[in-house]
Amino acid sequence: MASLCVNNSFLLNRQTTHKLPFVPATRNRRRLVTIAAESSMATDKLGVKIEKNPPESTLTRLGVRNWPKWSCSPSKFPWTYSDKETCYLLEGKVKVTPAGSKESVEIGAGDLVEFPKGMSCTWDVSVGVDKHYNFG
């Protein structure tokens, strides 16, 4: 997690520069931990956006638990996204290698992931996947 510092009456997340409400040291420290946990940020690697362990409020806002589910045992296969896909991995571990790239993106349980429309890649599933997904 990125470090937090006090700046006037706000906490600044140095990695994201999001302003978070200041919680005085005399108040409950759990509040600070909750605020920091809810400020998770997506990263973009090779065109794939990944948010590690998003807060439940994000999953609820997106309606993730109402999305269809898809499962896959360990395997390796090519895939092309005909539309943008957003998925939330409940279980599993996958290396996704975009076509023409020598680099891979690793995703796993607890990741909220967005794949762009038109992306061709190879999925290398090392631990069986169980995920919610949404196209569009």
Q: Are residues 50 and 30 in the same domain?
A: no
- Output the average pLDDT for the chain: 81
What pLDDT digit, counting tens, does each position of 84-109 carry? Answer: 999 999 999 999 999 999 999 999 99
How many Cα atoms are found within 13 Å in the side-chain-facing hemisphere of 95?
Answer: 9
pLDDT value, residue 49: 98
Q: Are residues 64 and 103 in the same domain?
A: yes
Contacts 24+ apart (CB under 8 A), 29-36: 35/11, 36/1, 36/4, 36/11
Q: Which two three-digit tokens encode residue 92?
A: 């599993």
Q: Are residues 69 and 104 in the same domain?
A: yes
Q: Are residues 94 and 111 in the same domain?
A: yes
Task: Assess contact for 128 and 91: CB atoms under 8 A.
Answer: yes
pLDDT value, residue 40: 65
Q: Are residues 21 and 73 in the same domain?
A: no
Q: Are residues 29 and 48 in the same domain?
A: no
Number of domains in the chain: 2
Task: Assess contact for 85 and 115: CB atoms under 8 A.
Answer: yes
Task: Assess contact for 73 and 130: CB atoms under 8 A.
Answer: no
Q: Are residues 20 and 74 in the same domain?
A: no
Question: In which residue ranges of the chain is pLDDT below 50?
Answer: 1-23, 26-38
CATH value at residue 131: 2.60.120.10
Task: Assess contact for 127 and 92: CB atoms under 8 A.
Answer: yes
Q: Are residues 74 and 20 in the same domain?
A: no
Q: Are residues 30 and 91 in the same domain?
A: no
Q: Are residues 20 and 83 in the same domain?
A: no
Query: Structural domain of residue 89, as residue ranges?
Result: 43-135
Q: Are residues 96 and 68 in the same domain?
A: yes
pTM: 0.71
Q: Are residues 48 and 31 in the same domain?
A: no
